[in-house]
Amino acid sequence: MEHTLSITISSDHKKMLHEIVNCTKMKENEILQKLVEDYYSSISGSVGSPKSKLTSKPVIIDGFDIGDEVSDGIIVIDNKGIVLRINKAYSKITEIHEKNIVGKHVQTFVDQKYFSNSASLLVLKEKRKVSILSTVTANKKKVLLTGTPIFDNNGEIQQVYTIMRDLTELIRLKEQLEEKEKENIRYYEALKYFNENKNKTDFIGQSPAIFQIKSLIEQVSQTDATVLITGETGVGKEVIASEVYKNSSRKDQPFIKVNCAAIPESLLESELFGYERGAFTGAQQKEKLGLFELANRGTLLLDEIGEMPIKLQSKLLRCLQEKEITRVGGTRPIKIDVRVIAATNQNILKQIKEGLFREDLYYRLNVIPIKIPPLRDRKDDIYLLLHYFLEKFNKRYNKQKKIDPETADFLTTYHWPGNVRELENTIERLVIISENQYINVDQVILTLGDESTSNKLSQHSTFSLKEAVEKVEKELIYNALKKHGSTHKAAKVLGVTQPTVVRKAKTLGITEW
Ligand SMILES: Nc1ncnc2c1ncn2[C@@H]1O[C@H](COP(=O)(O)OP(=O)(O)OP(=O)(O)O)[C@@H](O)[C@H]1O
């Protein structure tokens, strides 16, 4: 049978109840229910009732000891600052055992730097309720302290009770929320960018460097000027050459690409300039058109121009200056109308110094220089590109893989020695091999490890396997600690437990980060 219990609360108790709600964030009826339960159990004499606690511990709030039932810490001091009692949660948060604090002056703990400051002492000084933020030194926990004075009938402070709320979880949630919000903004921007550029381009990027290159492309596309594109391998030199072509008035004419490094030296001349019938032993009966002639009225990309044999460079220079070519074995100059774009990942100026590249050809090619910075120097683009490739490969392999913010963060901080090509290959591999919907940092590390870490290590053949594993572990743990600042966060990122991080850091000699 159910009974309805009606409770009448005095205005003093109402005030108190209100403060407990404020401090503990429990609901009013939850607190009342708890009090009623305690009351009933006190009548039946069970341990933990207000009465039984009252006999062993000082009063906390007007006769009711709710202390051990709540998750917030509670400390009660008398008007001299001596600690009368703490609840279990207080011990848990501060890692101070009840027997080590009860009976001592609270100032001792501030002096010994257990806490950065004390709300209880402040209440004694200011004789009013105060709320402050403090840090528990032992575990760096951020806590919110709300100290409330209890006055006697003469208006003197009798006791102070302080509620300690552990903000660690709250801060973590707040950080997570902020990260999610940032992620949403980035997603939104990436989506907006894709929608705006969907049908326009395969050239992704909105870093300041890429913006500049885009506006340069717009300007040079309208001319026939020779363009020299430089940058490390995989930065997108060919992509940019295509953009110049697609934006130019020659876009409906041929676009021919030739990799000067891929064609044997003996064949390159005839590939580029063609040959006349019977020009050399083995030449076919019929004449052959070279790539310059095939690209007539269009655009020719001379990729890896730095690899062009010096002998051929003078012929190329003549062709660019005279706008005509002579086939191998021929004497007749043939007029051509070709826009030349050259690309290289070599340092041509160094090659000039070493006598490997003609200076006059360099200046002839370098009319419009486009220098593409490495991917690691344009972090804004990494984020866009990784989502672009994720979408591309999800579509190709019919998957719905996602990248969590932490992983995206990691990918933006990685140094990408192989630039966009390496990022593209990595995302493709991750989309294929990842078993979960979310691609995580561990998988990325393993995938990158396939190529970079293991390659780097295999070059150091003096390492034993154990040493090599330790080296990788040390690097990963150190980087995670440095980036995330705490063993807890590092453990989460590395997908191991926090004690494992602490233990491994110790054995690997990581003492600071
Ligand atoms: N800005 C970009 N947007 C989209 N894809 C890109 C971009 N830059 C590079 N890529 C992709 O990265 C890969 C490598 O690009 P690309 O071949 O143009 O590099 P590269 O600088 O010419 O390399 P290499 O010096 O080795 O010839 C290609 O698959 C290309 O589609």
Give the number of the atom of ligand 1 that is nearest the alpha carbon of residue 241.
18
The total of other beta-carbon atoms located within 10 Å of residue 343's CB is: 26
Atom of ligand 1 nearest to the CA of 235: 21
Say yes or no: CB of residue 231 within 6 Å of ligand 1. Answer: yes
How far is 166 from 182, CA to CA, in rounded Å?
Answer: 25
The phi, psi pair for 278, rounded to 5°, reads: 65, 25
Name beta bridge partners: 150: 159
How far out from the chain centre does Cα 398 lie? Answer: 26
Question: Residues 424-439: pLDDT tens digits?
Answer: 999 998 998 888 899 9
Does the beta carbon of 238 lie inside 6 Å of ligand 1? yes
CA 206 to CA 387: how far, in whole Å?
Answer: 13
Confirm or reject: Cβ of 202 under 6 Å from ligand 1: yes
- What number does the ligand 1 atom closest to the CA of 424 have? 12
Domain 201-373 CATH assignment equals 3.40.190.10: no
**Given this model, what pLDDT does residue 128 score?**
92
Q: Give residue 13's pLDDT.
A: 63
What pLDDT is stored for residue 53 in this prediction? 35
CA of 356 to the centre of ligand 1 (A): 26
Among 3.30.450.20, 3.30.70.260, 3.40.50.720, 1.10.10.10, name the CATH number for the domain at 74-166. 3.30.450.20
Is 423 near ligand 1, meaning CB less than 6 Å away?
Answer: no
Q: What is the number of other CB atoms lying within 10 angstroms of the CB of residue 469?
A: 12
For residue 499, the model assigns a pLDDT of 85
Cα 55 to chain centroid, rounded: 56
Pocket test for ligand 1, best of 424, 425, 427, 429 (most atoms within 8 A of CB): 424
Decide: 231 and 345 in contact? Cβ < 8 Å. yes
Single out the residue of 233, 183, 120, 220 nearest to residue 404, CA to CA.
183
- Please give the model's pTM, rounded to 2 decimal places: 0.57
pLDDT at 459: 41
Q: Is 282 left (phi over 0), alpha (psi -120 to 50) or beta?
A: left
Smallest CA-to-CA distance from 414 within 395, 397, 430 is with 430
Residue type, 351: Q
420 lines ligand 1 (CB under 6 A): yes
Determine the residue of 243, 420, 427, 428 to mutate for testing ligand 1's pocket, defined as the one with the most ligand atoms within 8 A of the Cβ atom. Answer: 420
The list of the chain residues with pLDDT below 70 reads: 1-17, 19-27, 29-69, 183-184, 186-188, 190-191, 193-201, 278-285, 449-468, 471
User: Ligand 1 centroid vs 376 CA: distance in angstroms?
Assistant: 14
CA of 316 to the centre of ligand 1 (A): 26
Query: What is the C-alpha separation between 134 and 222, in angstroms, rounded?
Result: 64
Q: Where are the domains of the chain?
A: 1-70, 74-166, 201-373, 379-507
Task: List, for residues 114-130, the tens digit of each pLDDT value.
Answer: 888 899 999 999 999 98
Backbone phi, then psi, for 166, in 5-degree steps? -75, 120
C-alpha 150 – ligand 1 centre gap (Å): 72
- Answer yes or no: is the ipTM higher than 0.90: yes
Domain boundaries 379-507, corresponding CATH code: 1.10.8.60
**Contact indicator for 184, 192 with CB cutoff of 8 Å:** no
Task: Supply the pLDDT for residue 460.
Answer: 36
Q: 240 CB under 6 A from ligand 1? A: no
